[in-house]
Structure 1
């Protein structure tokens, strides 16, 4: 079974914290992703997943992180961003398949072949929408207005950003995707509450913002800006060369963008000002969750950290005490 439209679009809509979990080394690293009727969370050593079953109960699972992204070359700046993205994509596909089985009653397992074909479809879609189309628009406007190489790259980057915003806005109109975006909001609220040292109750979590500074939506907009700078160094050439060079250089763009997101958390008000335009996009990629969805996100975080939160204790402090 190849990933259906709901699963594939859910991966793109809800996986917006792909690069967040290691962004603040001075705090306990936590990241997450929305899936179908649920959330996955990543703690320092384990993933946790929670999905609302059709009978109303919450199904939970927990498994260890791969760990390869913290070894060798992959623990170094730029490379760690590439590794983090690769792991989040891999785990995201698997989690979406499992969440569909639990929430929608699908019985077939997602095989390695299915994952490979789904990734191929995703790559073709990404290259077509976010590489080839903006490149064509840049050439078109460049020809109309007599722009040079840098000017064409700026138009291409702006077009890439507009395509992304339009895409997110359009898929958000689909009911099934809106549910995923609500779980995305629940994931953000839960992480914000945890990082703020709040007692981890659904009522308290609901008071926190659905906007998170390390969200992958913001990351993608940084990628757009960084792509203008990096792709400008490639120079001109035929369409195949330019499309190919952008695909090849995309991991570098991702790695550099990751470092900017990671560092912006340490820049105080300057970092907030730089990230403000990108943060505003999260109003498209998140929705205000229900209490039932917050319960699922909280269960996923408990699974990832292997702790049961107490209503009168700050969640982060309780976790650290259990690990002493």
Structure 2
């Protein structure tokens, strides 16, 4: 009989040729070096999320997202340096430019573009304000899924998606008390309820509701209001995911449609990639096994 999952604070993300894991107190990073060895690094998590205002419902969702982005960029930079070798390190300036371009892309492609297309459709079909927001949200979802599907065909991104699958399999195995060996972990699902990919689809649905509550206005107002309200949308989505991931009744079925996207953003990993993901979780739970950073 399958053991019920353990509710423990473990999560992670895929990076370049590696996996980042979050344990109860520490972060653990494992990256495959060009020579084949696994480089391990660990560091203590931030204290600012542990109390006060930042633990309030909704607020904690946006705060967690900010922290994940900060740590995620740090881990991506480290993994790029390790996997590319000393001679091909990415400079801080190149990283800043990459992050800036990514943020502009998010605002332009996933916020502004669906809004302008929905305005055009609304003017031709005389849709209500709520109908316009449904169209905008659906367009945002289609653009997002299409974008993910397109980049998944890029060899380097497909490789990251394989490590993403390794991360999920490892967490699923750990939460079910299975032996943490590549042979054992390989039998577990690469789909996980707390995945950030599913979270982003929930964000799209919640945004339809939230953006429908504000009126129309100028282009600047409509774009600006979506940027300003994004923390609220993220916070509400986080609370939904949090509740759904802990529910074996309503949550299990409500989150199911969002989980389907993980079949695009994860791939079946190799035994070598599972070994890296296991090493990342191991060092997150026992930071003495990694180099403190």
**TM-score relative to the length of structure 2:** 0.93
Aligned twin of 1:8: none
Aligned mates of 1:237, 1:73 — CA distance in 2: 33
Per-residue CA distance 1:275-298 (angstroms, 9 max, x = gap): 111000000000000000000000
Question: The residue matched to 2:236 in structure 1 has which SS?
Answer: helix
Aligned mates of 2:156, 2:89 — CA distance in 1: 20
| 1:138 pairs with 2:118 | yes
Aligned mates of 2:95, 2:60 — CA distance in 1: 23
Deviation at 1:77, TM superposition (A): 0.7
Deviation at 1:83, TM superposition (A): 1.0
Aligned twin of 2:82: 102
Aligned twin of 1:76: 56
Per-residue CA distance 1:22-57 (angstroms, 9 max, x = gap): xxxx72100101000000000111000000011111
Deviation at 1:119, TM superposition (A): 3.1
| 1:250 pairs with 2:235 | no
Aligned twin of 2:98: 118
Aligned twin of 1:290: 270
Aligned twin of 1:180: 160
Structure ranking higher on relative contact order (CA contacts 8 Å, 6+ apart)? 2
Aligned twin of 1:225: 205
Q: How does 1:37-56 map to 2 (within 5 A)?
A: 37-56=17-36
Q: How does 1:187-198 map to 2 (within 5 A)?
A: 187-198=167-178
Per-residue CA distance 1:215-239 (angstroms, 9 max, x = gap): 1111001000000010111110011
Per-residue CA distance 1:75-112 (angstroms, 9 max, x = gap): 1111111111111111111111111111112554653x
Aligned mates of 1:27, 1:280 — CA distance in 2: 23
Gaps of 5+ in 1: 1-25, 310-324
Aligned twin of 2:3: none
Aligned mates of 1:229, 1:110 — CA distance in 2: 41
Gaps of 5+ in 2: 1-5
Deviation at 1:201, TM superposition (A): 1.2
Deviation at 1:117, TM superposition (A): 3.8
Taking a change above 3 Å as real, the CA distance of residues 57 and 280 of structure 1, as seen in their structure-2 partners, is: same
Per-residue CA distance 1:109-164 (angstroms, 9 max, x = gap): 653x5554433222211000110011011111111111011110000000000000
Contact 2:42 2:287 in 1 (8 A): no
Aligned twin of 1:213: 193
- The two structures, once aligned, show a CA RMSD in angstroms of 1.6
Aligned mates of 1:288, 1:251 — CA distance in 2: 33
Taking a change above 3 Å as real, the CA distance of residues 293 and 45 of structure 1, as seen in their structure-2 partners, is: same
| Shift >6 Å, 4+ stretches | none
Number of aligned residue pairs: give it. 283
